[in-house]
Structure 1
Amino acid sequence: MLLPRTRQALQASLAVWLVLTAGGAFAQTKPRPSCTEAASDACYTAFRPRIDGGWLHYYSSLRPGVDTARPTTALIAIHGHPRDANRTFNAATRALQAAGTQEPSLIVAPVFQVAEPGAARCQTKGVPGPQADDLLWTCASWMAGGGAFSSFAALDALVTELRQRWPSLQTVTIAGFSAGAQLVQRYIGFAAPPQPGAPRVRYVVASPGSWLYFDAARPVATTQAACPRQNRWKYSTEKLPDTLGRNAEEARQAYAAADVHYLVGALDTGDAPGTHYPSLDRSCAANAQGPYRLERALAYAAADNQQRLAANQPTREVTVVPSCAHDVACVFTSPAARSALLP
């Protein structure tokens, strides 16, 4: 099912890209993506974040080195715990089609690969498994910047890759759903600083199971003795891994300066069908943030915006998506989420 991705194949693809861009102009194309379903082999590609490292695969609505569209916006959609990048990609492309935008846009959905046998606990049918030279994480490590090659560094590299492949990009939105939102919300404070001439980067945090707090206040009162992990990474900033490259204050400032939008399904509460309650983090550190995803999202956004008002900063928009529980296909394709995902 995989596209050939040998060094020779990728070099040939790059050669085509160089020929197409050498003249400094691209043929005009319709804004509709060339790949709209993750089932197509043509939508699955890869790159090396580092020369001495492994490969990171991603679904892409435009084929690197083949399509000549000049997208001005990109949406990087991050999968949830089942690593359902195919469903996430399909939801994002449907959102783009429903928006009917006339500007060329790029949709990308990376896959954080997990080696067998651990992958059996977090895999989705239809998503190709890892190959021998892929970057690897565990089912949990990629959500919080872990891995031999940090998932935060992988996102940094992906943004750079897209900028190099499509220099027309002006805005990149990084949107995560569920566990992918855990990754995105934590990544914001540790993302590489913007480079001169780089696209504007935005973030959408959609229905995470837990949040990174930058202080000790929580919606549900508890004590350090009763729940010592609530102030530690990944729930707060004590005991930050050295690999993240920033201290707590630097991360807080980076988060405060970022362009962030919060999304959550209106029905993503309780233990009813569709809420995926069995997969919800119910540790004491997570429960201190609220009982369910909707309550946790609203409490975090309220606390964040209260601090921003006190600091004379503009508040961040919170969108509660009607009629959606915990389903990326519902949340991402909802008209209510459109302005957040596709500005």
Structure 2
Amino acid sequence: MRNDPASRVGRRWVRRLLVVAFALVAAVLVGMGAALVVPRLSEHAAAPRPPDLAPAAEPAAPHPGPRATAECTVPEENDDEDSEDSDDDRRSESAERRCIGELPLGAKRSLRYYSSYPLSGNPEVTQAIVVVHGAGRNARSSFTGMTQEVAGQRASDRTLVLAPSFQTKEDDPAGNEARWTDEAWKEGGDATKPAGVSSFDAMDKIFDQLADKSRFPKLNRITLAGHSAGGQFAQRYAAVGQAPDRLNGVAVNYVVANPSTYLYLNPERPDLTDAAGKRFAVPKTSCTDYDAYKYGLRDRDRYAGGEDPAQIIRRYTTARVTYLSGEQDVESEELDTDCQAMLQGANRFVRSELYLNYMKTFFPSAPHNRAVVPGIGHDRADMFASEQGVQALFGGPNPNGAPIR
């Protein structure tokens, strides 16, 4: 190879020309990439998405078009007594207020509720989960728990979560807020104020607004879920609730988790001497009102009493219902032990099993199923976070219309 001065100069010029060429090619490629990326960035910048309530285990799948974002989040409750007047607490209270709505019920009374989107409407919401609190009437906790489950499913952008608050006088409701007795709200009884308004009337209003296509044009599914006393509410509403009958283009599912008792549709009850739990007969009992509402269809209250029993049976046996049962929910704490309840079984787990057997016996075509949650007792959060709970809430019972199992 030549190494004279002229050759060295020539090689230097060749290297310089190659550097310039590579630089020009890189500049062209960068420019083409920017042209592709910038429109995508500007598309998402128009509707930024805040972080979900719970961290996801992996990135969300791509979602075409603009994304809806939840209007509000409720922070975890702060147990630090020294932080009551802190800026963080004030911001938390402000964020929580954005989640609280008031549903007018007449006579200048209203029902308080928590909701992740306003009931005035949202064009991107496709499903709603209405979750009913338990006997402690902690709607806030029910709301935060369910919004976390929705976030874990990466569904916050299309799912409205709503938790009504059925208050009693012990909750010290505001002067304009409706209130019930401790038992009435669970079974659709009338409020003490305003008179003549059932807790099921309130749920009817919620369903009507969710199914209003001028408010929620894409919403096609409502799930009513409840645990314990909330499960009692959901199961009775599935039978006597009237709004679902008039909804068009909206499917309704019910998730009934660990209720203390069930509404039976005829006078037969489980033969508790049958170890298999599959025999049913009219019981020989001194409990003369065992078949009265809320345990049976006799002596129904104002809301439920306006219909023929055949209509109630038709509605319930065509409703899509999942019974969630905690395998360890066998304790007697807060269990209904009245004679009407004890004819349904010894504890919540047994009552759930016997009730499904009852439905199989008398109404085998009903689209109902039962899912046992292994190792879980009477715990709302664990029940809904379980594999079985997630399937019931987001997969839906019997999606192909399969009969009871």
Is 2:123 the partner of 1:80? no
Check whether the contact 2:122–2:216 (CA below 8 A) recurs between aligned residues. Answer: no
Amino acid at match of 1:210: T
Q: Distance in 1 between matches of 2:132 and 2:324?
A: 14
Q: Distance in 1 between matches of 2:366 and 2:297?
A: 24
Q: What does 1:305-316 correspond to in 2, within 5 Å?
A: 305-309=360-364, 313=365, 315-316=367-368
Amino acid at match of 1:35: T
Which residue pairs with 1:187 in the alignment? Answer: 237
Could you say if the C-alpha distance between residues 134 and 36 of structure 1 is closer, same or farther in structure 2, counting changes exceeding 3 Å?
A: closer
Structure with bigger gyration radius: 2
List per-residue Cα deviations over 1:252-295 (Å, max 9, x = no partner): 111111111111111111x3xxxxx3311001111111111111
| Deviation of 1:242 (Å) | 3.7
List per-residue Cα deviations over 1:285-319 (Å, max 9, x = no partner): 1111111111111110121123233xxx2552211
| Deviation of 1:33 (Å) | 6.6
Match of 1:169 among 219, 223, 227: 219
Which residue pairs with 1:6 in the alignment? Answer: none
Is 2:317 the partner of 1:256? yes
Match of 2:338 among 283, 306, 315: 283
List per-residue Cα deviations over 1:213-269 (Å, max 9, x = no partner): 011222245845411121111110111124322132221111111111111111111
Check whether the contact 1:31–1:105 (CA below 8 A) recurs between aligned residues. Answer: no
Which residue pairs with 2:385 in the alignment? Answer: 333
Which residue pairs with 2:258 in the alignment? Answer: 207
Amino acid at match of 1:173: T
Match of 1:56 among 111, 123, 128: 111
| Deviation of 1:114 (Å) | 0.9
Amino acid at match of 1:137: W
| Deviation of 1:152 (Å) | 1.1
Other structure's SS at 1:278 match? coil
TM-score by length of 2: 0.68
Match of 2:308 among 247, 251, 258: 247
Could you say if the C-alpha distance between residues 37 and 190 of structure 1 is closer, same or farther in structure 2, counting changes exceeding 3 Å?
A: farther
Could you say if the C-alpha distance between residues 186 and 196 of structure 1 is closer, same or farther in structure 2, counting changes exceeding 3 Å?
A: closer
| Deviation of 1:31 (Å) | 5.7
| Deviation of 1:105 (Å) | 0.6
Check whether the contact 2:70–2:117 (CA below 8 A) recurs between aligned residues. Answer: no
Is 2:195 the partner of 1:135? no
Q: Distance in 2 between matches of 1:238 and 1:109?
A: 30
Is 2:192 the partner of 1:154? no
Check whether the contact 1:308–1:315 (CA below 8 A) recurs between aligned residues. Answer: no
Amino acid at match of 2:264: Y
Is 2:67 the partner of 1:29? yes
Is 2:103 the partner of 1:47? yes
Match of 2:288 among 214, 228, 242: 228
- More relative contact order in 1 or in 2 (CA 8 Å, sep 6+)? 1
Which residue pairs with 2:326 in the alignment? Answer: 265
Q: Distance in 2 between matches of 1:195 and 1:293?
A: 33
Q: Distance in 1 between matches of 2:248 and 2:183?
A: 34
Other structure's SS at 2:181 match? coil
Other structure's SS at 2:375 match? coil
Amino acid at match of 2:300: L
Other structure's SS at 2:147 match? helix
Amino acid at match of 2:187: A
Check whether the contact 1:83–1:112 (CA below 8 A) recurs between aligned residues. Answer: yes
Q: Distance in 1 between matches of 2:221 and 2:116?
A: 16
Structure 1 ranges of 4+ moved more than 3 A: 30-34, 36-39, 220-225
Check whether the contact 1:34–1:63 (CA below 8 A) recurs between aligned residues. Answer: no
Check whether the contact 2:317–2:367 (CA below 8 A) recurs between aligned residues. Answer: no
Q: Distance in 2 between matches of 1:259 and 1:226?
A: 34
Q: What residue ranges of structure 2 are gaps of 5+ in the alignment?
A: 1-64, 78-95, 273-281, 396-405
Check whether the contact 2:269–2:283 (CA below 8 A) recurs between aligned residues. Answer: no
Q: What residue ranges of structure 1 are gaps of 5+ in the alignment?
A: 1-26, 124-128, 272-276
Q: What does 1:80-99 correspond to in 2, within 5 Å?
A: 80-99=134-153
Which residue pairs with 1:217 in the alignment? Answer: 268
Check whether the contact 2:226–2:234 (CA below 8 A) recurs between aligned residues. Answer: yes
Other structure's SS at 2:144 match? helix
Aligned residues: 295
Which residue pairs with 1:16 in the alignment? Answer: none
